[in-house]
Chains A and B, each alone.
Chain A
Amino acid sequence: MAGEEANLRLTPQEEDVLAGSDGPVAQKVMRTVVQYGQALGAERLVDISGEGHLVIAYAIPGTGPSLEMLEELVAAGLTTKYPFTLDPRPPLDYDNWALDRQQVAVLDGMYRDQARYEDLLLRLGARDADAYTCRPFLEEVGNIPKRGDILAWSESACVVWANSVLGARTNRNGAIMDLLCNIAGKVPLSGLLDDGARRATWRIDVKTGDLPLPQLLGAVIGRRVQAGVPLVTGLDRFLDAGLDAPTRDYLNELGTACATAGAVGLFHVEGITPEAVEQGTGILARAHRTYVVDDDVLADLAASYPVLWRDGDARPEKCYLGCPHVSLEQIDWWARRITAALQERRQPRIKVPTTLCAAPQTLARLGAAGSAWRDLQAAGVMLSAGCPMQLFDNDLAVGSAIVTNSTKLRTYTNARFFPDRRIVEILVDGEI
């Protein structure tokens, strides 16, 4: 970057690393972080104060660092300052995805380096072999930053949660830069790490008749505010204060959809999220803009989603749920709803092969002996700690008739979005 634009001041220790005191690879890592800070207009770097969460879970080029890069970092003896969790594993537990032999062969080829890749991540600081989920902040997983913690997280769904619901501070760091900042233990003081950037630049007034679907509301907000910071008003009519489990699940889906449809790294919800509770509407920037969301706005968005199936009238071939990973309470909801719908039809099993995804720790806590697990298994729902999105990283799923309740999965694949309750009907009926 042009030198005259760079006003980044470094500490003597940072200068030393940049000059090569810790070796050439640490020097290159620091140079990368410094240049990142210069691009973001930061005046200095600050110390990371909590565990990381990184998006780089996949040993396929284009989604994370190359094996060669990881090996270079490991060979130099570098590790992150704190342990880190990672996004979900690829769907290599084939029995839980109803894959055909051709798909298995393709995935085997794509992920032939996955074991070596994960071993290198472990050596660089990954928590353990079960560190893979996009809900690391669930109690059973336990990567729960404190309010005010400085982090270098990636995975847009996790960044927006850490900022919005936990009150920690992280920018939307990209893949690979996330790892390098956590190795350096430093991140540029910029963006959402600054108080000023955490003020709401948008006021989103929710004027729907009922609690809106978080997936659609989030997508509307993300499209509208892009990289802005919204204060959402009107949701406290429907959600309990105090961040109980249903509210947490709602906000997780809302944030994920916001971050996918736009570049939202932080949202406030009046009366619910910590900084909004503390500051009320005083959290609004003076020059904020206002947008009203009513039922028509949400319906228009849902109607605008294109059908990307080869045959738009096809029967659904598969259903993927749990993008982002679901909580124990959400698993219980699916188990109860699907079981009730099957009983009503006097039908033993669902008609669409379905996989529901959750963190390894959530599935362990659910326990194979639990009633929700038994009910889902009996209904034909498969459970996995993997990520459905990775099934689409090849040509085999293009155009196939897949349904989902995730606007994130819809955005990145040809899956069709339907609300939860409609999904239950589709699974039982086997058609749309």
Chain B
Amino acid sequence: MSLTFKGRPVLPGTVTGVAVVSHGGFNTYASFFESIHEPSDKAICADSGNADLYGRDLAGRVICVPNTTGSTSGGAVWQRLIDMGNAPRAMLFSKAIDSLAAGGLIVADLWGGERIVVVDRLGDAFLEAVVHGDALTIGADGGVVIHRSGAGTSQEAPQEDALA
């Protein structure tokens, strides 16, 4: 089975990856506070206030969130993670991207190295559907497909929800 959602490509790209999901706001700086200092192939979420993600490895993952929160220092985190090789593969936002996330991810894209793919406005239904460990395919057009075992059927999410 697969579920398809359509968002707005902020930093477009075609990637696949494994989902990690936060249903509350994602505090960028608190999450990566301990991951930006020493080169590592891991980025263990250090935000003890995030019950969904605390202790999970976010490196190379597709992070699915409503929005980002917390310190504006979080803007500089993305470029550092890219440099250290433990950045997430993509950031997927159910809401319109917030200024803190937009600024940081765009600076990292234009002044840094490789791209973290960013899609926003995927809708609440996306965040309700996606769960930790889901295999995701993200298209350059902002399409996101959640692949589940028992593939063969396809369930199209309501577009009005996905674009809310």
Known: A32-B110, A35-B110, A262-B25. A172 touches B98 (CB 8 A): yes
In the complex, what's the smallest C-beta–C-beta distance from B77 to chain A, in angstroms?
6
Task: Tell me, rounded to whole Å, the shortest Cβ–Cβ distance linking A46 to chain B.
Answer: 14
Q: Is B49 an interface residue (CB 8 A)?
A: yes
B129 in the interface, Cβ–Cβ < 8 Å? no
Q: For the complex, what is the distance from the CA of A31 to the CA of B109, rounded to whole Å? A: 12
Q: How far is the CB of B27 from chain A (nearest CB, A)?
A: 8
B residues within 8 A CB of A32? 106-107, 110-111
CB–CB A2/B76 < 8 A: no
**A174 touching B30, Cβ below 8 Å:** no
CB <8 Å contact, B104 and A62: no
Closest to B76 in A: A175
Q: Does A39 lie within 8 Å of B70, measured CB to CB?
A: no
Interface membership of chain A positions 396-417, coded 1 if the CB is closer than 8 angstroms to chain B and 0 otherwise: 0010000000001001100000
Interface of A is mostly: loop
- For B46, the closest partner residue in chain A by CB is A412
Known: A61-B83, A65-B76, A411-B49. A177 touches B106 (CB 8 A): yes
> In this complex, what residue of A is CB-closest to B75?
A174
Question: Given that A40-B99, A226-B24 are contacting pairs, would A155 and B10 also be in contact in the complex, using a CB cutoff of 8 Å?
Answer: no
Question: Quick check: B76 and A36 within 8 Å, CB to CB?
Answer: no
Interface residue? B123 (CB, 8 A): no
The answer to whether residues A154 and B75 also contact, given A176-B107, A226-B24 and a CB cut-off of 8 A, is yes
Q: Contact size class for B? A: 35 or more
CA distance A41 to B70 in the complex (A): 22
Contacting pair A55 B100 (CB below 8 A): no
**Do B76 and A64 touch across chains, with their CB atoms under 8 A apart?**
yes
A159 within 8 A of B: yes
CB atoms of B103 and A55 under 8 A apart = no
Question: Considering residues B32, B70, B83, B104, which has the most beta carbons from chain A within 10 angstroms of its beta carbon?
Answer: B70
Task: Provide 10 A-B residue pairs closer than 8 Å at the C-beta atoms, listed in order of the A residue.
Answer: A2-B9, A35-B110, A61-B36, A62-B36, A62-B37, A174-B101, A227-B25, A263-B67, A394-B37, A411-B70
Nearest 7 Cβ contacts at the A-B interface: A174-B75, A177-B103, A62-B36, A62-B80, A175-B76, A175-B75, A174-B103
B-side interface residues toward A, CB under 8 Å?
8-12, 24-25, 27, 29-30, 32-34, 36-37, 48-49, 66-77, 79-81, 83, 96-104, 106-107, 110-111, 120, 141-142
Excluding A41-B96, A55-B73, A175-B76, 17 further A-B contacts by CB distance (< 8 Å) are A2-B142, A35-B106, A39-B97, A40-B97, A40-B102, A61-B36, A155-B71, A159-B72, A174-B74, A174-B101, A175-B74, A177-B103, A226-B67, A227-B25, A263-B25, A306-B48, A308-B48
